[in-house]
Structure 1
Amino acid sequence: MVLAMLLFAIEDTLLKTATASVPVGQTLMLFGMGGTLGFLLLTWRRGERAFTPQALKATLFTRAFFEILGRLFFLLSLALNTLSSTSAILQATPIAVTLGAAVLFGERVSWQRWVAIMIGFVGVLMIIQPSSEAFQVTSILAILGMIGFAGRDLATRAAPPALSNMQLGVYGFAVLIPTGAFYSLWSGGFVSPDRFSGFMIAAGTLVGIGAYYSLTVAMRTGLVSVVTPFRYSRLLFGLMLGLLVFDESADAMTLAGSAIIVLSGLYILMSNATRKSSAPTRVSERT
């Protein structure tokens, strides 16, 4: 999950740079084309069929809907808002994912973890500052993107086990092609990307493939309530890249909120490690 967050932050930086000269819809379409091709090659390399009857399950259509919602609105937020602010708002995703995992999958979340996650959410609110003039209307785009990513992650968890991570990658990127094309037609058409923008999109696609695969593995093999808090690391990567690449500055509230988010995530990590270390003892006693 940490690797996925680092790669996603790099992807965000590359695509945000590209949207300075290439419309959001066209960027999304080209990104989807490259990602689909990449995962198709990986799927065929494993000797798997790209499309199977399992891809027509209702869960996959739900996943596609949330994929579109997350990708489109998050990219719009990246184009119109700062990278650091958009990354910060995205940190509310663990709250929605953990709640959904408890309701839909019956995963047990201890009250200590709930408290730690909610404290992390307070840190996010400190960064967003919804009641102050610092809050921007464009932040709503990031909130919609966050909801989309949370729904996608939960649908990934519920996807048919017969589908590999590579196949899910094909489906996830493929739906972005028509989405980007239709949005481009609706918002003003296409342009001819210059060499630099084309390189940014291509590099973002390659990094995005690695990020997407890492995230899918984490969500399908790890306990959702355990791996989800590590999404907080994306905030740190986003702040650093925003400062280094776009010269974005973080105010005191942003830094304080970031510290709270990190500390709550570390507490969840330590509580999980303690629980795992005590598990063999309990097994031994039952035996």
Structure 2
Amino acid sequence: MTQNRLGSLYMVASMGGFAVEDALFKVATQSIPTGQALTMFGLFGLIGFASLSLLKAERVLHPQILSRPLLLRSASELLGRLSFALALALMPLSSASAILQAAPFVVVVGAVVFFGEHVSWRRWLAIGFGFIGVLLIIRPTPALFDPVSIFAVLAMLGFSGRDLATRASPATMTTRQLGTLGFIVMTVAGVILWSVGGGTPTVPPLMTTLALLATAAAGILGYSFVTLAMRTGQISVVTPFRYSRQLFAIIFGFVLFGEWPDLLTWTGILIILLCGVYTARAGRIDRPNP
């Protein structure tokens, strides 16, 4: 199996994990404050990844945790987690996830700028049309624009920066150590959101606690696979497979929350998905798999 194909499979697996994480987190925020839910989620995931490192007899925190790429990664993660937690709490799941699908376009541009990857005119054209799809969902006009969608846009930018910085992270840093760092940042994001947003601390119902434990488990799987994906194959070929997350989000949004996108949102989603598929195919046409 080629590195690009393996990386693509890792990406699809990670998107499935993240879609489950998003749905369960949204369920949890319906009974406790968003900041409290994010803090608990972060702590559960931190304990999970740290335990995996201890089982492997490796250091929980990598010595280069304060290096420039990892500081940039943590700052991007903080922005992404804060913003997406708010987006999930305030927006329909399918819409928040759809805006997040612009991340592959940003990551591909970053791969060109920072890693010197080749991107053909075909993929640049797909990136342009994909951006139009995002605009159809955001609807940046005074009459139709929903200010809450800004949180999803900021989350998209944050997660894009995180993924690019993951590529530049030390090769000696394991997926478990990267996950531990990520969930430390998530916990910090939860505390910040809890402090700023208020919300009286509550003893969460048992089902909410179980939902957050399951959220952490899904997040650990998603985090592990996306790290493997960003370290396997070409970024510009592997990244478009992020679009599989949208399909999961539509299903979970309908089944769990009764959400159903309107016609304009469906149009934007369809454009983004088609551009993602085309970008992946154009990558194989323009350059043979290694």
Task: Report the counterpart of residue 163 of structure 2 in structure 1.
Answer: 153
- For 1:237, which of 248, 252, 256 is the aligned residue? 248
- For 2:267, which of 256, 262, 269 is the aligned residue? 256
The amino acid that maps onto 2:156 is M
Within-5 A mapping of 1:24-39: 24-39=34-49
- For 1:8, which of 6, 18, 22 is the aligned residue? 18
SS in 2 for 1:221: coil
The amino acid that maps onto 2:29 is T
For residue 268 of structure 1, report the CA deviation from its aligned partner.
2.2
- For 2:105, which of 73, 90, 95 is the aligned residue? 95
Gaps of 5+ in 2: 1-10
- For 1:191, which of 202, 221, 225 is the aligned residue? 202
Residues 62 and 177, structure 2, Cα contact 8 Å, conserved in 1: no
Cα deviation per residue 1:125-167 (whole Å; 9 max; x = unaligned)? 2222222634311101111111110111111111111111111
Gaps of 5+ in 1: 281-287
- For 2:213, which of 178, 202, 220 is the aligned residue? 202
The amino acid that maps onto 2:208 is S
The amino acid that maps onto 2:92 is T
Within-5 A mapping of 1:120-139: 120-131=130-141, 133-139=143-149
The amino acid that maps onto 2:212 is I
17-26 or 259-268, which moves further after superposition? Answer: 259-268
The amino acid that maps onto 2:135 is L
TM-aligned CA distance change 1:267 to 1:52, over 3 Å: closer
Within-5 A mapping of 1:21-100: 21-100=31-110
TM-aligned CA distance change 1:240 to 1:133, over 3 Å: farther
Distance 2:133 2:188 in 1: 37
For residue 50 of structure 1, report the CA deviation from its aligned partner.
1.1
Residues 237 and 284, structure 2, Cα contact 8 Å, conserved in 1: no
- For 1:163, which of 165, 170, 173 is the aligned residue? 173
SS in 1 for 2:170: coil
Task: Report the counterpart of residue 280 of structure 2 in structure 1.
Answer: 269
Distance 1:154 1:279 in 2: 21
SS in 2 for 1:109: coil
Distance 1:279 1:25 in 2: 43
- For 2:227, which of 204, 216, 219 is the aligned residue? 216
The amino acid that maps onto 2:97 is S
The amino acid that maps onto 2:191 is A
The amino acid that maps onto 1:242 is G
Residues 87 and 96, structure 2, Cα contact 8 Å, conserved in 1: yes
Residues 133 and 268, structure 2, Cα contact 8 Å, conserved in 1: yes
Residues 54 and 162, structure 1, Cα contact 8 Å, conserved in 2: no
223-232 or 128-137, which moves further after superposition? Answer: 128-137
- For 1:106, which of 104, 116, 121 is the aligned residue? 116
For residue 279 of structure 1, report the CA deviation from its aligned partner.
6.4
SS in 2 for 1:55: coil
Q: Of the two, which has the highest radius of gyration?
A: 1
For residue 275 of structure 1, report the CA deviation from its aligned partner.
4.6
77-86 or 254-263, which moves further after superposition? Answer: 254-263
The amino acid that maps onto 1:265 is G
Distance 1:279 1:158 in 2: 21
For residue 11 of structure 1, report the CA deviation from its aligned partner.
0.7
The amino acid that maps onto 1:224 is I
Distance 1:88 1:185 in 2: 29
Superposed CA RMSD: 1.7
The amino acid that maps onto 2:255 is L
Residues 236 and 258, structure 1, Cα contact 8 Å, conserved in 2: no
Distance 1:115 1:48 in 2: 45
Distance 1:124 1:184 in 2: 30
